[in-house]
């Protein structure tokens, strides 16, 4: 993907997204021993960075494709993002959601105009149902993370961050399906000044960490993490970009995720979801290696189930 592709992508999606604020906290800087700039995608439309990639992917469709709509499978943020992006662009959205998805997320998808089709809570069932809808309706399948148009869209958050803070040493991002970190790594490569990208991942779902070591896409035996947005696995579009442009991945414990999330809620007075806290937890875990540096952190989202807080 070229630098021009990211610039054109940003131009396409700007009318449909928020340019989210970059916040700092003197106290958190003191705790971390570094200067941290939080790119707050929890203030994005529908509450997460995924609005960017969903909007770009739909924008790239032909008129004939738009007529027939789009379909995806997602239990959370991408379901909401594709529904809202489709509504903004006048396109029908079919959303395959596992029956186990929280009601609050199903309600949000309906509120954004998405048509929900429920399936068994397995990846195989999700894929099969999405394929069935695609063949019946002719809708275009858009993968939540393993799609180059989605990846380009996600990279625009880091573009905006570097536009405002061009001399960052490093950007730290949570890793799930790899769409955000792949897009961020491309943006840092093209728009940063020697800015490296580091991923952050729970020990409980450390497939990306293992994948970078083994050189092939690994999967997870269990997904026992509070960071529910990071339970997905890498794809054949996101992984090669990570191999080329991502420095390394830091793993964190569940306790570290909760502590980082609580600190941000208490000190910055903003609502972030557990997946978003993983990046800050990684910086706190490896304070020595980040000491004195200028660090960008992408706060990926703020869609929290308030009935199920970890503190």
Of the candidates 39, 50, 105, 237, the residue annotated as catalytic is 50
Which of 74, 75, 196, 300 is flagged as catalytic? 300
Closest CA to 216 of 240, 237, 200, 185: 240
300 is catalytic: yes
Active site amino acids: 50, 300
């Amino acid at each position: 993907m070229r630098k021009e592709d990211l610039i054109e992508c940003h131009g396409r999606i700007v009318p449909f997204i928020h340019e989210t604020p970059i916040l700092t906290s003197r106290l958190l800087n003191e705790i971390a021993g570094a200067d941290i700039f939080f790119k707050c995608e929890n203030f994005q439309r529908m509450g997460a960075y995924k609005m960017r990639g969903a909007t770009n992917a739909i924008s790239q469709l032909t008129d004939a494709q738009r007529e027939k709509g789009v379909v995806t499978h997602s239990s959370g943020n991408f379901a909401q993002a594709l529904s809202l992006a489709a509504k903004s662009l006048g396109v029908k959205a079919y959303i395959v959601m596992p029956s186990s998805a929280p009601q609050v997320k199903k309600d949000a998808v309906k509120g954004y105009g998405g048509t929900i089709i429920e399936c068994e809570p397995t990846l195989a069932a999700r894929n099969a149902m999405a394929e069935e809808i695609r063949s019946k309706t002719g809708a275009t399948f858009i993968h939540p993370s393993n799609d180059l148009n989605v990846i380009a869209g996600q990279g625009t958050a880091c573009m905006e961050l570097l536009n405002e803070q061009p001399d960052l040493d490093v950007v730290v991002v949570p890793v799930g399906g790899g769409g955000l970190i792949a897009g961020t790594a491309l943006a840092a490569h093209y728009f940063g000044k020697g800015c490296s990208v580091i991923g952050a991942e729970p020990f409980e779902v450390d497939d990306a960490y293992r994948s970078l070591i083994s050189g092939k896409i690994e999967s997870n035996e269990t997904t026992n993490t509070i960071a529910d947005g990071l339970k997905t696995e890498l794809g054949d579009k996101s992984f090669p970009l990570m191999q080329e442009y991502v420095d390394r991945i830091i793993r964190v414990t569940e306790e570290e995720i909760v502590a980082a999330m609580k600190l941000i809620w208490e000190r910055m007075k903003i609502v972030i979801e557990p997946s978003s806290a993983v990046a800050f937890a990684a910086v706190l875990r490896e304070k020595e290696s980040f000491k004195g540096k200028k660090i960008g952190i992408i706060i990926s989202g703020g869609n929290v189930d308030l009935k199920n807080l970890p503190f």
